[in-house]
Amino acid sequence: MGMKQDALNYHARDRRGKLEVVPTKPLLTQRDLTLAYSPGVAEPCREIAKNPEAVYDYTAKGNLVAVVSNGTAVLGLGNIGPAAGKPVMEGKANLFKKFADIDVFDIELDAPTADDVIAAVKAMAPTFGGINLEDICAPDCFRVEQELKEALDIPVFHDDQHGTAIIAGAALRNACAITKRNMAEIRVVFSGAGAAAIATARLFVSMGVQQKNIWMLDSKGLVYEGRRVAMFPEKAAFAQPGGPKKLREVLPGADVFIGLSVGGILTGAMLKEMAPEPIIFAMANPDPEITYEEARAACPDAIIATGRSDYPNQVNNVLGFPFLFRGALDCRSRNINEAMKVAAVDALASLAREDVPDSVLTAYGLKQLSFGREYLIPKPFDPRVLLWVAPEVARAAEISGDARAPIPDYDAYRQKLERMTERTKEIVRPLMTRARMNPARIVFPDGTNPKVLRASQILVDEGICRPVLLGEEWKIYKRAEHHNLDLRGVEVVDVADDEQFASYAEGYWAARQRKGVTLTGARGMVANPTTYGLMMVKQGDADGLVGGLATPYHTTMRPALQVLGPDGGHKVVSAVYAMLFKERRIYFGDCTVNQEPSAETL
């Protein structure tokens, strides 16, 4: 079965399409019905009539975005009309919900002109907390967005323009840092002069690129002063002095190539004429302006990004719009302004320089990922993007005066966002807060494991505990260097050379000699990092141990029972598992240790 049939089956199976509406309040009794509808519903109506801002307190408006399209410029398909574009808008709604827990109504308008779209959106605006414009042709999209931004007091955002711009901006920020370029001095060549290209060029200017250093070309060639063909004001703003030129004539010496046009128009020979270490963002879909392989072969020192997921540095809009709207909605911003976009750029660029968690590596089937030429921007499934971008967007809205309900406590806000994306944090976060009050000394027997190395650095950075890694010192530091970790604040203990080895061996022998353990046998047992770590806990040199990453459960549990045993007069130890659902938690015990517990044990 090919991709075509798979895609059709995906959309047609079970309930048709990709969306449903789910009530958030109970409707189980007659009383529920009277509260949800008549007569109880009249009370919030009266409150909103007295104070229009109360609509955010009593309705879903504050978390509801309209994805609006007239289907005149559906990505890769062109003017296919509103109904044919509906699967795209439903998909967009899915991304809003998945990545930022924002509810969406997709609105497909039979509105072929800019005036029609503007009138329709104005009429429906009271329903929504924000408007995401989608797949509206240029130059209509510029006018539609601008007039709606001026007329409405909720965020209006054309993602086809600004989504690409924000992600490309973050990638450019980091590419310039890696190649030690000053953004005010770089020369940028754009292939493409549509909505996304113009918005990207505008954002680059906001980030520090000189407008005079931006050269923009479309299918007619260079955008130059006095050109009459295929021009409109937004494009004309980037006109260069002089006459007509083709791409091959303006590319020599350029620092940056931004492709938002069509596939195959750039050659390796043209890239070789660019400045050393050229920055190449070939973002045409599905085929880039030049393939990754050809660009890499022509310029091995180049920094390359595309719009494709099968190559490094995918410029994907999903890194932008969900988190931008999350921040804007949560502070009830009147707008998504330039400062908020730049804040999103800076947050994404900064996050890419952080250590990448194992959850992201696992999601992408990777063993290692670190900031550099092939990792300029975060991956879309990195759960930290929400925590980094939304607060900075809300903060920028507050500073610029567009936030009607500024965030009172950004630390608490980040924790709220964290719970939104990772339900386990509902349980873990209070424990982490308590741990920070008196950081414990915790032993990790699997000291050379990359996951343990990354976790240890995070634990130190967040002040949760004082990690102690067991293992050969040279091997631990070599692994850490390989993964770009400096292990500051992390203690390393080489079991074989530790001065406490003899003391722990004698302690183990004293505790286990009645079980037939000799002193020689005790030395052999304590040489095992797990047993050694447990002896550290037993003799008060550590507060706890986290093990079992590379060994079966029982292999870790047995020495713990032998060395430490049950606590405080208890006879039985057990395991407990927590399952988190949207409305409740369920704890299960014992699922691991006692296979057939007696009634007394239970």
How many H helices and E strands in the chain?
25, 16
Task: State the Cα–Cα distance between residues 536 and 545, nearest whole angstrom.
Answer: 9
Backbone dihedral angles phi then psi of residue 456, each to the nearest 5 degrees: -60, -40
The DSSP element (H or E) to which 257 belongs, if any, is strand 256-259
Instruction: Let me know if 139 is exposed, middle or buried by CB neighbors in 10 A (0-12, 13-18, 19+).
Output: middle
- Could you tell me which of 179, 18, 13 has the C-alpha nearest to residue 91? 18
**CB-CB contact of 132 with 45 (8 Å):** no
Annotation says 37 is catalytic: yes
Choose among 408, 406, 333: nearest CA to 65.
333
**In angstroms, rounded to a whole number, what is the distance separating the alpha carbons of residues 260 and 245?**
18
Which candidate in 61, 86, 92, 379 is catalytic? 92
Torsion of CA 557, 559, 563, 564, to 10 degrees: 0
Supply 486's token pair: 């400096």
Nearest of 245, 307, 303 to residue 274 by alpha carbon:
303
User: Which among 37, 58, 364, 577 is annotated as catalytic?
Assistant: 37
Residues paired with residue 222 on neighbouring β-strands, in sequence order:
217
Distance CA(306)–CA(293), nearest Å, equals 12
Token output for 125: 């605006």
| Cβ atoms of 122 and 97 closer than 8 Å | no
Contacts of 506 (CB under 8 A, 6+ apart): 519, 522
In whole angstroms, give the CA distance from residue 600 to residue 602: 5
Run of H or E residues at 356: none
Q: Which residues belong to the active site?
A: 37, 92
